[in-house]
Amino acid sequence: MTNPTEGQCGLCKQRRPLFDSRSEWGDVPARLCTGCWSRYAVARERGEFVDWADAFDNASDSQLEAGLRGHR
């Protein structure tokens, strides 16, 4: 376990202690604060995405279609 270093979070852009994101999450910011890190962890656990930018970067076409249907 490495100690977090402070810097700008890749998602919320706030200056906070940062943790490395996980490679299995796909195309996500490399470094995230605890709050945003948890958002990705929870979203991926559910097979979801944290926001539209995340979905467009990481969802397959069928996942995007399912997401659009789910957001009706």
Minimum CB–partner distance for residue 35 and Zn ion (Å): 5
Answer for which of 18, 33, 50, 59 binds Zn ion (CB under 5 A) is 33
User: Can you give the length of the chain in residues?
Assistant: 72
Q: What is the DSSP string of 32-59?
A: E-HHHHHHHHHHHHTT--SSHHHHHHH-
Q: Whose Cβ is closer to Zn ion: residue 51's or residue 65's? A: 51
Can you tell me the distance from the alpha carbon of 9 to that of 25, in angstroms, rounded to the nearest whole number?
A: 16
Q: By rule CB under 5 A, what string of x and - marks binding of each residue 10-29 to Zn ion? A: -xx-----------------
Where along the sequence are the contacts to Zn ion (CB under 5 A)?
9, 11-12, 33, 36
